[in-house]
Amino acid sequence: MKTVSRHYIRSRKAAGVLASLRVEDLTPSTEVAEGLSAVENGRMTTADLMKQVRLKYVTLRRI
């Protein structure tokens, strides 16, 4: 049985995210593209990237 490397799995997930954006006719910001590259190379987790994106783009509403 062939062993799949973690790098390969991360790169396929990053490619999937970029493909989803292209399907929706969107382009990622520079920060998101760099974050996906960092995830692919193992320097950042997907949870860290999601947190970074939420901090930048999602406004917190307190009632």
pLDDT band at 25 (very low <50, low <70, confident <90, very high): very high
Using a pLDDT cut of 70, give the percent of the chain over it. 97
CATH 2.40.160 fits 6-57, yes or no: no
Summarize the confidence of residues 14-31 as an average pLDDT.
90
Residue-range domain boundaries for the chain: 6-57
- State residue 4's pLDDT score: 77
CB 52 within 8 A of CB 34: no
Predicted TM-score (pTM) of the model is: 0.74
- State residue 57's pLDDT score: 84
